[in-house]
Amino acid sequence: MNKTDIQIAICGSAGEGTIAAGDILRSALAGAGYRIIAFDAYPAEIRGFGKCVARLRVTTEQAYSLKEKSDVLVCLNDDHGIPHIGEVRDYGAVIYEEKSIVPLAEGAHVSAHILPGQVPYPVPIRELSERTTGAVRSRNMVVVGYIAGLFGLSREPFYKIVDAKFKNKGSVAVQNRKAFDAGYDLGAATFKLDDVQFGAPGEMFHATMLNGNAAVARGCLDAGIDTFFGYPITPATTIMEKLASEMPKRGKRLLQTEDEIAAIATTIGAGYTGARAATATSGPGLALMSEMLGLGVMAEVPSVVFVSQRGGPATGIPTKTEQADLNIALHGGHGDAPRIVIAPTNVDGCYRCAGKAFEMAERYQTPVIVLLDLYLSNRYETVALPAKSPFEADSDKPLAKQDLGAGYKRFAYTDDHVSPRALPGMAGGMHVVTGLEHNELGRVNEQPDVHEAMSRKRHEKLKAALSHPDFTVYKRFGDEGQVDVGILGWGSSFGECLEAMFLARREGIRCAALKVVMLSPFPVDAVTAFLDDCGAVLVPELNYQGQFAQLVQAETCRPVHRYNRVTGTPLRVEDIYAEVRRLALAATRKAA
Partner 1 sequence: MSTPRHHVVIGSGVAGNQAAETLRQRDPESRVTMITVSKLPFFNRYDLPRVFRGERDWRKFVIYPAEYYLDNRIALRRATKVVNVDGARRTLTLEHNETVRFDTLLVASGASAYMPAELAEYQPLMHGFGAFRDAIAAADALPKDGHVILMGGDTIGLDLGRTLLDVGYRVTVIAEKHTFWPHEIKAEERPLYIEALAKMGFEVIDGHARGEIAAVRAGAPGLAPRRVVFHDGSEIHGDIVMPFFGVAPALDFMLGSGVDIERGLLVQPSLRTTNEAIYAAGDVCQIWSDADKRYHFYHGWKNVRAMGELAARNITGADEPWVPIQDESLQLSADGRIRSPFWEYA
CB of 123 to partner 1, least distance (A): 10
Q: What's the Cα-to-Cα distance from 22 to each of 97, 103, 116, 362, 586, rounded to whole Å?
A: 17, 29, 26, 39, 42
Q: What's the Cα-to-Cα distance from 231 to each of 95, 228, 321, 369, rounded to whole Å?
A: 40, 10, 20, 16
CB of 78 to partner 1, least distance (A): 10
Q: How far is it, in rounded angstroms, from Cα 553 to Cα 555? A: 6
CA atoms within 13 A on the CB side of 139: 24
Q: How far is it, in rounded angstroms, from Cα 388 to Cα 35? A: 22
Q: Which stretch binds partner 1 (CB under 8 A): 102-110, 284-292, 414-422, 581-589?
A: 102-110
Rounded to 10 degrees, what is the CA torsion of 148, 196, 71, 185? -20
Determine, following the binding rule CB under 8 A, whether residue 101 of this chain makes contact with partner 1: yes
Q: How far is it, in rounded angstroms, from Cα 79 to Cα 97? A: 12
CB of 192 to partner 1, least distance (A): 9
Q: How far is it, in rounded angstroms, from Cα 409 to Cα 445? A: 14
- DSSP code string of 348-364: HHHHHHHHHHHHHHHHH
Q: How far is it, in rounded angstroms, from Cα 491 to Cα 90? A: 32
CB of 119 to partner 1, least distance (A): 6
Strand partners, 475: 515
Determine, following the binding rule CB under 8 A, whether residue 108 of this chain makes contact with partner 1: yes
Determine, following the binding rule CB under 8 A, whether residue 109 of this chain makes contact with partner 1: yes
Cα 391 from chain centre: 20
Q: How far is it, in rounded angstroms, from Cα 446 to Cα 456? A: 15
Determine, following the binding rule CB under 8 A, whether residue 106 of this chain makes contact with partner 1: yes
Q: Which stretch binds partner 1 (CB under 8 A): 33-41, 100-108, 240-248, 476-484?
A: 100-108
CB of 117 to partner 1, least distance (A): 3
CB of 107 to partner 1, least distance (A): 8
Which among 258, 208, 214 has a CA at the least distance from the CA of 240? 214
CB of 183 to partner 1, least distance (A): 18
Determine, following the binding rule CB under 8 A, whether residue 405 of this chain makes contact with partner 1: no
Nearer to partner 1, 103 or 170 (CB): 103
CB of 138 to partner 1, least distance (A): 21
CB of 503 to partner 1, least distance (A): 23
Nearer to partner 1, 121 or 158 (CB): 121
Which among 309, 377, 313, 307 has a CA at the least distance from the CA of 339? 307
| Contacts with partner 1, 68-97, as mask; x by CB under 8 A | ----------------------xx------
- For 149, left (φ over 0), alpha (ψ -120 to 50), or beta? alpha
Determine, following the binding rule CB under 8 A, whether residue 136 of this chain makes contact with partner 1: no
Q: What's the Cα-to-Cα distance from 342 to each of 360, 409, 495, rounded to whole Å?
A: 10, 30, 16
3-state SS string over 28-43?
Answer: HHHHCCCEEEEEEECC
Nearer to partner 1, 107 or 407 (CB): 107
CB of 130 to partner 1, least distance (A): 16
Q: Which stretch binds partner 1 (CB under 8 A): 117-125, 154-162, 351-359, 402-410?
A: 117-125
3-state secondary structure of 91: strand
3-state secondary structure of 539: strand
Site residues for partner 1, window 441-480 (CB under 8 A)? none
Nearer to partner 1, 112 or 135 (CB): 112
Q: Which stretch binds partner 1 (CB under 8 A): 103-111, 358-366, 494-502, 563-571?
A: 103-111
Which among 67, 375, 332 has a CA at the least distance from the CA of 212? 375
CB of 113 to partner 1, least distance (A): 9
Nearest-Å Rg of the Cα atoms of the chain is: 26
Determine, following the binding rule CB under 8 A, whether residue 104 of this chain makes contact with partner 1: yes
| Contacts with partner 1, 186-225, as mask; x by CB under 8 A | -----x-x--------------------------------
Site size for partner 1, by CB under 8 A? 26
Q: Which stretch binds partner 1 (CB under 8 A): 17-25, 106-114, 507-515, 545-553?
A: 106-114
CB of 99 to partner 1, least distance (A): 5
Nearer to partner 1, 100 or 434 (CB): 100
Q: How far is it, in rounded angstroms, from Cα 40 to Cα 55? A: 6
Determine which residue in the list 117, 335, 407, 559 makes contact with partner 1, applying CB under 8 A.
Answer: 117
Q: Which stretch binds partner 1 (CB under 8 A): 115-123, 369-377, 401-409, 418-426?
A: 115-123
Q: Which stretch binds partner 1 (CB under 8 A): 45-53, 112-120, 196-204, 414-422?
A: 112-120
Q: Are 489 and 515 in contact (CB under 8 A)?
A: yes
Nearer to partner 1, 120 or 199 (CB): 120
Pairing of strands 208-211, 380-383: antiparallel
Point out which residues bind partner 1 (CB under 8 A). Answer: 90-91, 98-109, 111-112, 114-117, 119-122, 191, 193
